[in-house]
């Protein structure tokens, strides 16, 4: 399993409304230079993401495409998981995705009933890799017992106000990716004085500093959401921002914690 194949900066595509925008947004992101796009069944935009990919000049083989299914309330029954996986592929208009995640370990989820369907999709070539999302270390340990295929990635919220030290260490120990969603904390991380001071030092945007800090961790990738070309270009440029040890230590020392996605069904609330 080569971790080198995943582009470390991708495009997140969640929005509460105007889901049609992701057709143009994805096409623009690929034109700007993104080669990693992340979506999910519950986002209700997979068909637009797929159209955006087809609208672009980027070959499918040159693009990393991830999606997620098994939300806490979608689909309603474990036996429908294979159909849910096929539905993701149909809406995206692809034969396979590069990475298929279990979206939440709650609702209808159980290791015994859900993970075999993901293993079957992997064996049938419908996904090149299996991922999990919003798990705890204990749940990751349990899931590993029900999978012969390796866990390629674990997707969770991560940013300077939610550094996820334990899960980062877990990813490094077990050699999989931690993919950070909401890597700007939906803007909350950008308001931290420490982030703003580092941004001023480097003549950079606070968003770029937050992304650079996330990417400074081994085995960590990020999928910031952006809908304008300008923000997409700024986010990509964060890969070239080199924070020094003092910058990283300053951000690491932030003692405020903020979780943007704090659903009742999140396992950290059980």
- Residues with a catalytic annotation lie at 43
Query: What whole-number distance in Å separates Cα of residue 270 and Cα of residue 265?
Result: 7
3-state secondary structure of 126: coil
Rounded Cα distance between 19 and 36, Å, is 19
The neighbour count for residue 46, using CB atoms within 10 Å, is 27
Q: By C-alpha distance, which of 48, 44, 58, 42 is closest to 20?
A: 48
Closest CA to 50 of 101, 13, 105: 13
Across the strands, what pairs with 69?
102
CB atoms inside a 10 Å sphere around CB 16:
6
């Amino acid at each position: 399993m080569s971790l080198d194949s995943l582009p470390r900066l991708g495009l997140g595509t969640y929005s509460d409304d105007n889901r049609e925008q992701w057709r143009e947004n994805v096409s623009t992101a690929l034109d700007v230079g993104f080669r990693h796009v992340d979506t999910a069944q519950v986002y209700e935009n997979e068909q637009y993401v797929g159209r955006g990919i087809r609208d672009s000049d980027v070959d499918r083989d040159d693009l990393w495409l991830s999606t997620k299914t098994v939300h806490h309330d979608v689909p309603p029954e474990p036996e429908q998981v294979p159909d849910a996986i096929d539905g993701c592929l149909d809406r995206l208009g692809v034969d396979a995705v590069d990475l298929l995640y279990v979206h939440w370990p709650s609702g209808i989820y159980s290791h015994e009933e859900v993970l075999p369907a993901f293993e079957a999709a992997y064996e049938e070539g419908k996904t090149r890799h299996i991922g999990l999302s919003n798990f705890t270390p204990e749940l990751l340990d349990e899931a590993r017992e029900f999978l012969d295929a390796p866990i390629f990635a674990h997707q969770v919220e991560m940013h300077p106000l939610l550094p996820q030290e334990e899960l980062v260490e877990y990813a490094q120990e077990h050699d999989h990716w931690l993919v950070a969603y909401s890597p700007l904390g939906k803007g909350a991380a950008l308001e931290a004085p420490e982030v703003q001071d580092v941004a001023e030092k480097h003549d950079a945007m606070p968003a770029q500093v937050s992304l650079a800090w996330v990417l400074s961790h081994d085995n960590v990738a990020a999928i910031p959401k952006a809908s304008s070309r300008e923000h997409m270009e700024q986010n990509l440029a964060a890969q070239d921002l080199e924070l020094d040890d003092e910058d990283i230590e300053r951000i690491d020392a932030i003692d405020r914690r903020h979780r943007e996605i704090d659903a009742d069904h999140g396992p950290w609330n059980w």
